[in-house]
Amino acid sequence: METNLSVSGLAVRLSGKTILSDVTFAARPGKVCTIVGPNGSGKSTLLKAITGEAGYDGDVSLNARPLDRYAPRELAEVRAVLPQHTQLSFPLTVKEVVRLGLQNAPLQMADVRDRIGAALERVDMAGFEGRAYQSLSGGEQQRVQLARVLCQVWEPRNGDLPRWLILDEPISSLDIRHQVLIMDVARDFADRGGGVLCVLHDLNLTAMYSDQVLVMKKGRLLADGKVEDVYNDDLISEAFDFPLRIGALPGPAMPFLLPQAARKTL
């Protein structure tokens, strides 16, 4: 059975405006699929359609089952979502925020506590359980939200079926060590048979971690392929309306981008 996250002919209109059109791709379990593209190109809207938060035309299916045939509780078991922005309207501790990811989990109290502790450890937030979430720094809050999401899909496989991590800019507030730590968590989730679909702005970390890169521009998919297929000067420069040059490090092929390298004066 096909166990992809697949999107076909997707279109989204909001407030009478076409935000996404004709988006078709499949993300696969065991792989990290990254969406890149300029601000406003529709990356978050695409994730919102896939998670059922935004209405759409076209087809979205998870593990060969159309999204609209899942009950909310079933969806919560198969995929966890980190939105680009998370607002908490009431005061919660770190532990309480992470526990939100376990609302539907059939776990004993002690297992809940262990899972929360393990998830916080994964994101380097061990020992913060009792802290007021609002008192954390931006990057600390982001890592706690990631712990919540990880808790929800702790095991990347549910029998024969993959679970999915859907992450909208999971490392946008993180320092470089924690960026790598969190991308390692995503990689590990995929290596253990889950699927990862994430949005990133860092094109170097995208090159380092992605099996598949989707490039969005103005609500459409400009490219879909492996890093080596997508990372060429013309395509990336066109995507961002900005001159960019791809370099290559000696040794194992790993493309990198230095924005200043494209400036004519250098």
Contacts with Mg ion, residue ranges (CB under 5 A) = 43-44, 84
Q: Is 239 left (phi over 0), alpha (psi -120 to 50) or beta?
A: alpha
DSSP letter, residue 252: S
DSSP letter, residue 258: -
What's the CA angle centered on 3, arms 162 and 44, to 5 degrees?
A: 80
For position 51 contacting ligand ATP by CB under 6 A, the verdict is no
For position 21 contacting ligand ATP by CB under 6 A, the verdict is no
Q: Which of 39, 87, 108, 260 binds ligand ATP (CB under 6 A)?
A: 39
Q: In this structure, what token pair is assigned to residue 14? A: 């909001």
Residue 130 CB, shortest distance to Mg ion, in Å, is: 32
Give the whole-angstrom CA distance, residue 132 versus residue 121.
17
For position 40 contacting ligand ATP by CB under 6 A, the verdict is yes
For position 19 contacting ligand ATP by CB under 6 A, the verdict is yes
Strands 164-168 and 79-82: parallel
For position 41 contacting ligand ATP by CB under 6 A, the verdict is yes
- Considering only 34-42, 118-126, 158-166, 181-189, which stretch makes contact with ligand ATP by CB under 6 A? 34-42
Do the beta carbons of residue 6 and residue 54 sit within 8 Å?
Answer: no
Give the whole-angstrom CA distance, residue 256 versus residue 247.
5
- Of 142, 136, 94, the closest CA to residue 116 belongs to 94
Toward ligand ATP, which CB reaches closer, 120 or 215?
A: 215
Partner touching 85 among Mg ion, ligand ATP, none, CB below 5 to 8 Å by kind: none
> Beta-carbon neighbour count of residue 164 at 10 Å?
27
Strands 212-217 and 161-162: unpaired
Residue 84 CB, shortest distance to Mg ion, in Å, is: 5
Toward Mg ion, which CB reaches closer, 44 or 152?
A: 44
Partner touching 15 among ligand ATP, Mg ion, none, CB below 5 to 8 Å by kind: ligand ATP
For position 14 contacting ligand ATP by CB under 6 A, the verdict is yes
Do the beta carbons of residue 29 and residue 4 sit within 8 Å?
Answer: yes
What string of DSSP letters covers 78-111?
Answer: HEEEE-S----SS--BHHHHHHGGGTT----HHH
For position 225 contacting ligand ATP by CB under 6 A, the verdict is no
Partner touching 17 among Mg ion, ligand ATP, none, CB below 5 to 8 Å by kind: ligand ATP
Give the whole-angstrom CA distance, residue 249 versus residue 176.
19
Partner touching 40 among Mg ion, ligand ATP, none, CB below 5 to 8 Å by kind: ligand ATP
Toward ligand ATP, which CB reaches closer, 41 or 63?
A: 41
For position 55 contacting ligand ATP by CB under 6 A, the verdict is no
Residue 240 CB, shortest distance to ligand ATP, in Å, is: 11
For position 142 contacting ligand ATP by CB under 6 A, the verdict is no
Binding site for ligand ATP (CB under 6 A): 14-15, 17, 19, 37, 39-45, 84
